[in-house]
Structure 1
C-alpha cells in the first residue's frame, strides 16, 4: 500500500532539520520582539549566504563520500585574486571575476586529480590544500586588505526592496544556486551518478559510470562554487580580505551535517544544506538578540553537530 503524503514528507531527510528550524524560529520569536521582522530575516540570509554557498560545494563532495577542508581558504584566495587584479592589476572587473572563478575551479581540479589519480584520501588532500591556499593568499596579497573596489565587485551587496524589507542581490543569487543544484542532483542523470558514487563507487563503476571523471568533475564544480562564494564575500564586505574564510570550512561542514546529508556519502539533499545553514544563522541571530555571549553560540552549534552526526549514525545502523 502506498504511503500517504504526510508520511512520505516525514520520512524525507530534510524533515528533521526543517522541524528543528521551525522550532528554533518559534522559540526565538516568542523570546525576542525583533526576531519575526522582515529586516531580521533579511539579515539572517545575508549572514548565511557566503557559508551557504560554500556549503553547496561541500555537499557535492560529501555526497561522493569525500570532504573538503580547504574550501574557506580557496574562497579567500579567489577573493584576493579578483580584487587585486581589478584594483592593482588594472584588469577589467569582469575579467578579474572570471580569473578568480577559474583559480578556485583550478584548486578543485587539482584536489580531484590527487584524490583519483594518486588515490590520496580527500581528508589529507584538502588538509594540505588548506595550507597551500592560505599561504598563497597571504603571499599574493602582501598581507594587505584591498579596498576601493570597482562597482561590479560590490554589486551583489546592493539591495532591492521587497515590501518594506531590503534584500541583497547576493541573497537572491544564493537561493537561485540552491534551487539549481537541487534540480541537478534530483532530476538529472549526473545527480543520480553522484549519489551512486557515494553509495558504492565499485558498483557505480561496474554499472558504467566513469567514477574517476565524475569525481574530478565534482571537485572542480565545487571549486567553481567556492569562487562564487568569494564574489559574494567581496560584495558583502566591500574589500579583499586575506584573513577571510578561516573558519568557514568548518561552518560549511556544519551546515551540510545539520541539513541531513550523511558524512558517509550517497544520502542527502542540497535543500537540506540550505536548512542547515539557516539553522546555524537562526541560532546565532536569536541568541545574539537574547544577549547570549558569542562563546555559547559556538558551544550550542557544536552540540547540534554532534547530535546530527549521531542521528545519522543511528539511522545507518537501522538500515543495515
Structure 2
C-alpha cells in the first residue's frame, strides 16, 4: 500500500450543441473549411458586439438542475485576459465571480462503494480557435472561436484515477442524456483538465497541484493521472519534491506516456478578470427556472 494519498480535481469543458455560437449567429458545425464559420464578432474585430444566445442559458440550467445544483438567477460575464494566437480579442468571455451554476454534486460508484463528488461550479464561456501546426508553419482556424462551452469544475474529492474516470463517464452520460452536447471526445466536445497532487496519508494539508491540460480520451486521462502521481511520489521520496513539483500546466505525451511541462500555472489575478462592459448581467426569469 502506498504511503501517499492522491488528490484529484477535474475541470471539464463541454461544448454545447446549439446551432449557432454563444455570442453571434455563426454556425457551430464541425469539419467546415477553416475560417468559414466566422464573422466580425468571433474574429474579434473592433466595434463588433456580442449578443448572448438564449439556448446556451437554457442548456446550462438543465445541467445545473440535473446535478441538484444552485442556479444563480443573476450571473455576470467577465473578460479573462490572456494572449494566444487562437484568441483574436486577447481575452475570453467567461464567468468568474458569479457563475450561472453554483454548488452541486454527482454520485459515483467504484468497486461497489458509493461516493459523492462535489461540483464547485459550472459556468458559460466561449471557446478559443484552434492552432494547426504543419512542418515549418503554424496556422490558425477560428471556426471554433466563440462556440459555447460549459466549464464544469469539481471539488478535489477524487482519490484515484479510477474514481476520476468513473466521475467523467457519469458526467459524460449526463450531458448526453440531457441532449445538451454530443460530448464527442474525438472532436473536442468533451475535454478535461486534471489537477493532481499528493500528500502523506493522514495529512490534511493540500500540497502543490499540477494541471494536466487538454485530455480528450478516458484512457489517456487515466494514464496521465497515474504517471503524474508516480512522478510526484518519486520526487517526494528522493527529497526533490519542492524542486521538481511546482505549480504548472503540463501536457501528456500520448506516445511516450509521460507528462511534460508546458508553462507556469496562472492564478486568477494573472487573468485580470473584470465584468464585460459589452454584455448585460444575465437575469433568469421564472419561465426559464422551471
> TM range, normalised to the smaller chain?
under 0.3
Q: TM-score, normalised by structure 2?
A: 0.28
Q: Which protein is richer in strand relative to its size?
A: 2
| TM-score for both structures, normalised by structure 1 | 0.26
Larger % of helix: which? Answer: 1
